[in-house]
Amino acid sequence: MNMLDQKVHESNGIKTTPENEIIDLVVRSVKPFPGETWETMLRFSGPTDDEKQAMLQTVDTLFQRGYELVVATYDHLRNFPETAEILGWQDHMDEAHLAERRRFFTVWLARTLSMDFGTQFADYLFYAGKVHAAHGKRHIETPSMWITGSIGLIIGTFARFIIEAQQFNPEQTALALSGWNKYLLVQLNQMQVGYEAGKELNDGLQVINVMAYAM
């Protein structure tokens, strides 16, 4: 191909390369699957084996107060002006909506207390993040700052429940709290990834550059 032919091809949006030249066909900037992100973060900062054993010892204590945690969480959300407005509860409480939220939260709590480290749970958390980006039944967007804040409240509540039980020595308490903190922060990251994916979809068309080769 002479230089004139090459310029014609390039002007038509087709870029040719000399024969035998190695062409880079690697697709970059593609985000990993939710399960891959989850497993990477668990390897990076997940609970150690000793922490997992300590966490297991506290499961019964936390489970017994699970309903209290669910109720208190949504009481806080509806009594805090900013979150009440996001949920549409600033003027009156929608009992059906509250029941839906409590059920969703209860499922999450049950899987958390079962110490589910599987990729199916990763997909669930990714979906939960998308729900907070207005991809749920009611299309309510909850800004990510409130997801982060809620996880912080839950970590604090776990700590209070464990300390109030007075069943664990200081070493067990420290290991358990360290493990729950790590586990919940890995969950937070997974929900944030889902939230960001949902937001990107909300913002419009996604551009994917593709180079196709054909005869």
Q: Is the pLDDT of residue 15 over 90?
A: no
- pTM value is 0.82
Gap between the Cα atoms of 44 and 173, Å rounded? 22
CA-CA-CA-CA torsion for 54, 56, 61, 63, nearest 10 degrees? 150
**Tens digit of pLDDT for each residue in 38-69?**
999 999 999 999 999 999 999 999 999 999 99
Residue type, 124: Y
Residues making up the chain, counted from first to last: 215
**Tens digit of pLDDT for each residue in 107-122?**
999 999 999 999 999 9
Residues 6+ positions from 210 with CB-CB distance below 8 Å: none
Residue type, 178: S
